[in-house]
């Protein structure tokens, strides 16, 4: 995608399944990448994965690897300062970092709730606020939030995760109303670490059926096409689009379907 040629991109959560694929496809499209992840070894592995088998005639480059723990506000602030130093020409942020948890609200430890809200909601807001002055006057300035279909309609036992994703959608809508170029991506269940998130409460672990799970490569490809087109809302795949339609016209159908599968 020539749209990303020489664009300077900050990608959080680069060590996860979607993050590694975003890095790989953006590098192939010629972008300059600043990659961040909580785990340094996963960050290095993601950079190696992104660079492996590059066949593009004009591949991009990885400008910096910046480990950061987004559950810690001080680490979040350090990441923003590091990005300002290594990428004063930053023009695209992809807020991809996220964690999950599953279970009834009354049995989830408060510390787990706070950690999820910090990573999934507070950190994107904090980073955006810090880096917004850099993007304000960039002709291609753009902010991307990787939300979830659960930011369109909630399902049973995922209330905290949905709260964060609904909050992220509201924040993105506010930025768009302020005149910034914002895209929000709503993937369906995708083969990433979030499918193995901690589960609380009694009973056997719940798993999303394999036939319902999308793979990272096509999800990222569709997401980048929407980002390149500067679309406000992006549903990467037919399952995500179908979920959004049902969430809009018949949301009461979703919880019983979730329990069934």
What is the model's pLDDT at position 1? 55
pLDDT in tens, 190-215: 998 888 888 888 777 778 888 889 89
What is the model's pLDDT at position 60? 86
What is the model's pLDDT at position 53? 65
224: left (phi over 0), alpha (psi -120 to 50) or beta: alpha
> pLDDT tens track of the chain, all 261 residues?
568 999 999 999 998 889 999 999 999 999 999 999 998 888 888 888 877 766 667 788 999 999 999 999 999 999 999 999 999 999 999 999 999 999 999 999 999 999 999 999 999 999 999 999 988 888 889 999 999 999 999 888 899 999 999 999 999 999 999 999 999 999 999 998 888 888 888 777 778 888 889 899 999 999 999 999 999 999 999 999 999 999 898 888 887 767 655
* Rg for the chain, CA atoms, rounded: 18
What is the model's pLDDT at position 100? 92
Q: Report the SS3 class of residue 183.
A: strand
What is the model's pLDDT at position 250? 82
What is the model's pLDDT at position 260? 58
CATH 3.40.50.9100 fits 2-260, yes or no: no
What is the model's pLDDT at position 16? 86
Query: CA-CA distance, 5 to 235, in Å (whole number)?
Result: 23
pTM for this entry = 0.93
Q: Report the SS3 class of residue 32.
A: strand
What is the model's pLDDT at position 261? 55
What is the model's pLDDT at position 80? 97
For residues 118-137, one letter each, b for 16 or more C-beta atoms within 10 angstroms of the residue's C-beta and e for the rest, the string is bbbbbbbebbbebbeebbee
What is the model's pLDDT at position 40? 87
């Amino acid at each position: 995608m020539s749209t990303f040629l020489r664009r300077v991109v900050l990608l959080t959560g680069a060590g996860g399944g979607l993050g590694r694929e975003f890095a790989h496809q953006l590098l192939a499209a010629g972008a300059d990448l600043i990659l961040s992840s909580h785990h340094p070894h996963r960050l290095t592995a993601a950079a190696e994965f992104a660079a492996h088998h590059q066949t593009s005639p004009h591949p991009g480059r990885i400008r910096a690897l910046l480990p950061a723990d987004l559950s810690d506000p001080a680490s979040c602030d350090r990441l923003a300062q590091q990005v300002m130093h290594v990428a004063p020409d930053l023009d695209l942020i992809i807020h991809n970092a996220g964690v999950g948890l599953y279970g009834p609200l009354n049995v989830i430890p408060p510390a787990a709730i706070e950690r999820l809200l910090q990573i999934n909601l507070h950190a994107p807001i904090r980073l955006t606020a810090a880096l917004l002055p850099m993007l304000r006057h960039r002709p291609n300035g753009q902010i991307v939030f990787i939300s979830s279909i659960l930011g369109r309609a909630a399902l049973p036992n995922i209330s905290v995760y949905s709260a964060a994703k609904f909050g992220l959608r509201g924040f993105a809508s506010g930025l768009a109303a302020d005149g910034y170029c914002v895209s929000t991506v709503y993937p369906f269940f995708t083969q990433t670490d979030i499918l193995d998130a901690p589960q609380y409460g009694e009973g056997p672990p719940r798993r999303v059926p394999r036939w319902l799970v999308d793979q990272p490569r096509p999800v990222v490809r569709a997401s980048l096409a929407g980002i390149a087109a500067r679309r406000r809302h992006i549903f990467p795949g037919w399952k995500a689009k179908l979920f959004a339609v049902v969430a809009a016209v018949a949301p009461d159908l979703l919880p019983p379907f979730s329990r069934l599968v």
